[in-house]
Amino acid sequence: MYFTTYTMIREALAACTGEQEVDLGDGGDHADLASTIAFRLAKVRKTAPARIAAGIAAELAPSLATHDITVEALGPYINFRFGQRYVAEAVREALAPGYGGLPEKQQKVCIEHTSANPNGPLHVGHIRNSILGDSLARAFAKAGYPLEVQYYVNDMGRQIAIVAWGFDNLGMARNEGEKGDHYVARVYIAANRAIEADPEIKAGIDARMAAIEQGDPETVRRFRTAVELCLGGIKATLADLHIGHDRFMWESDFVRNRHMAGVIQRIALLPEAKNEGTLSVDLSAFGFEKEYVIRRSDGTSVYAARDLAYHEWKAGNFDVNIDVLGADHKLIGAQLQCTLRLLGEQPPEIVHFEFVSLPEGSMSTRAGMFVSADALIEEVTARALEEVTVRRPDLSIEERSAIARSVAVGAIRYDIIRVSPEKSTVFDWKEALNFERQSAPYIQYAHARACSILEKAGGFEPEFAFATGEEIALAKHIALFPRVIAQVVEERRPHLLSVYARECADLFNTFYRYNPVLKSEGATRNSRLTLVRAAQNTLKEALETLGIDALESM
């Protein structure tokens, strides 16, 4: 309803003014939509903006009135207000299952996210990547795109060689009940300490790097065992956070299947290539100071070579490729894009996010300085269970635990997604454990309240007679949901959805406070129940697109 109404008004304005761009935007408190085109026309026509606005409003009023839209000039602003017909139709649309979904698209989309090195568990910095990527993926799916989500497994880097060395030489046993990723981290940290103490060990690491590149079976087996041990733990953490990947792409596969060799060959033929011991690409013409190294002087490949092969493969298999990467990858990401362009391949789009640090400094797996996602989930779940137990002593421990898990995952996901990715943040336990505020539980609670009303009401005949300010404000906001999904996808900014969902909950709570539903009668009761159903459905769809459970009771 929103899209068709917007388009209709835009076209009416264009026809009336003869302008292509009609400066039509949100009207804030003043209107549902407003145009500021009179300012621009004032210059050309040498007439006061208010006079122009009044003229346009008068001209458009009769035809828009037939669509139940009023036009009014207020000074230089042309304000459009939607009437009952819009509100009724918007609520009707919002009753449908899957509301907010957009028409099916043809372009195949691949979103790569998380892709953390398998040398330890995910920490609270990694999950900013995971949550951003997963929310974006959910939005793309809702917007009708065929989608594949990938995790690129760096299974042959120096870190993994260090882990493999640690397993071979340190004789560290796995603790009782220890997750694989935490065990791998312990070995990795200890191995790094050993290297610091004895630099001679480095030769053993280098030997493993060369062996893995040559595909030495025993080395491959040892690396793979370590990586799979770690990846199993990472997958479990991601599953706890409602995050899944369709495919895990192993870096070493691009070496084994000769894909990387092909890319290196093509790079060597570029005019920008420099083959002087190392193979590198001179990107100085594109503003990069440092050369982009592809192959070491000893003939082994560096990460960049495998990454180029992976992205070349992706370019050939998908129409849109999106990588979610931390700010530390900005330079290499740009170098990768630039080099792919030189090769004539479509480079990926990169969605960057800034760092999450601890109050005592940056996180580092190697130094063992991080707060793991598992620890965060455990703490927040325990805190949520306390809260549920206070509020709902009537429920069984199983029911309370299930609610606590949903609340905890929602709180974590929401806390991370609500902040714009370009802002760096400092992790704060106190804040993470507090959900009496702008949070997922607040939105989940509004949804649960709506469910409770609907359950108590039983059956009803849908009606669409809305009268109070709270009813209309809620209905009009519900109507914006498909637009928000479109925006999230177009701008690759899922945090817009978190803002929208919270606003929906705000408006529902205000409606709830002033508009008794079950105690009203006749058309009012049916209309309000219809609106509650629409709000419940919208909140549910919005929450699920954010990867948060829409609880029916809490």
Partner RNA sequence: GGACCUGUGGCUUAGCCAGGAUAUAGCGCCGGGCUUCUAACCCGGAUGCCGGGGGUUCGAAUCCCUCCAGGUCCGCCA
Is 404 strand, coil or helix?
helix
CB of 406 to RNA, least distance (A): 9
CB of 527 to RNA, least distance (A): 13
Q: Is the Cβ of residue 236 or residue 486 nearer to RNA in the bound state?
A: 486
Burial class (CB in 10 A: 0-12, 13-18, 19+), 198: exposed
Q: Is the Cβ of residue 89 or residue 512 nearer to RNA in the bound state?
A: 512
Q: Is the Cβ of residue 75 or residue 262 nearer to RNA in the bound state?
A: 75
| Beta carbons within 10 angstroms of residue 287's beta carbon | 8
| Beta carbons within 10 angstroms of residue 327's beta carbon | 14
Distance between CA 242 and CA 222 in Å, rounded?
30
Q: Is the Cβ of residue 234 or residue 403 nearer to RNA in the bound state?
A: 403
CB of 424 to RNA, least distance (A): 4
Closest-CA residue to 480 (of 157, 23, 54, 27): 27
Closest-CA residue to 513 (of 549, 469, 548, 478): 469
CB of 173 to RNA, least distance (A): 27
Q: Is the Cβ of residue 27 or residue 462 nearer to RNA in the bound state?
A: 27
CB of 175 to RNA, least distance (A): 26
Q: Is the Cβ of residue 91 or residue 293 nearer to RNA in the bound state?
A: 293
Q: Is the Cβ of residue 176 or residue 456 nearer to RNA in the bound state?
A: 456
Contact present, 444 and 551 (Cβ < 8 Å): yes
CB of 106 to RNA, least distance (A): 23
Give the 3-state DSSP-derived string for 252-270, with helices as H, strands as E and coil as C: HHHHHCCHHHHHHHHHHCC
Q: Is the Cβ of residue 53 or residue 88 nearer to RNA in the bound state?
A: 53
CB of 481 to RNA, least distance (A): 16
- Backbone phi, psi, residue 45, to 5°: -90, -10
Question: According to DSSP H, which parts of 321-372 are helical?
Answer: 330-342
Q: Is the Cβ of residue 100 or residue 125 nearer to RNA in the bound state?
A: 125
CB of 107 to RNA, least distance (A): 20
Host H or E run for residue 127: helix 126-142
| Beta carbons within 10 angstroms of residue 17's beta carbon | 21
CB of 334 to RNA, least distance (A): 8
3-state helix, strand, coil in the chain (%, to 5): 55, 10, 30
Q: Is the Cβ of residue 6 or residue 39 nearer to RNA in the bound state?
A: 39
Q: Is the Cβ of residue 178 or residue 509 nearer to RNA in the bound state?
A: 509
Contact present, 254 and 260 (Cβ < 8 Å): yes
Distance between CA 222 and CA 220 in Å, rounded?
6
For tokens 């002033």, what's the residue? 514
CB of 453 to RNA, least distance (A): 4
Question: According to DSSP H, which parts of 143-216 are helical?
Answer: 158-169, 180-197, 202-214
CB of 415 to RNA, least distance (A): 9
Is 236 strand, coil or helix?
helix
Q: Is the Cβ of residue 146 or residue 278 nearer to RNA in the bound state?
A: 278
CB of 66 to RNA, least distance (A): 23
Question: According to DSSP H, which parts of 198-329 are helical?
Answer: 202-214, 217-240, 251-256, 259-268, 303-317
DSSP 455-519: HHH----------SHHHHHHHHHHTTHHHHHHHHHHHT-THHHHHHHHHHHHHHHHHHHH--STT
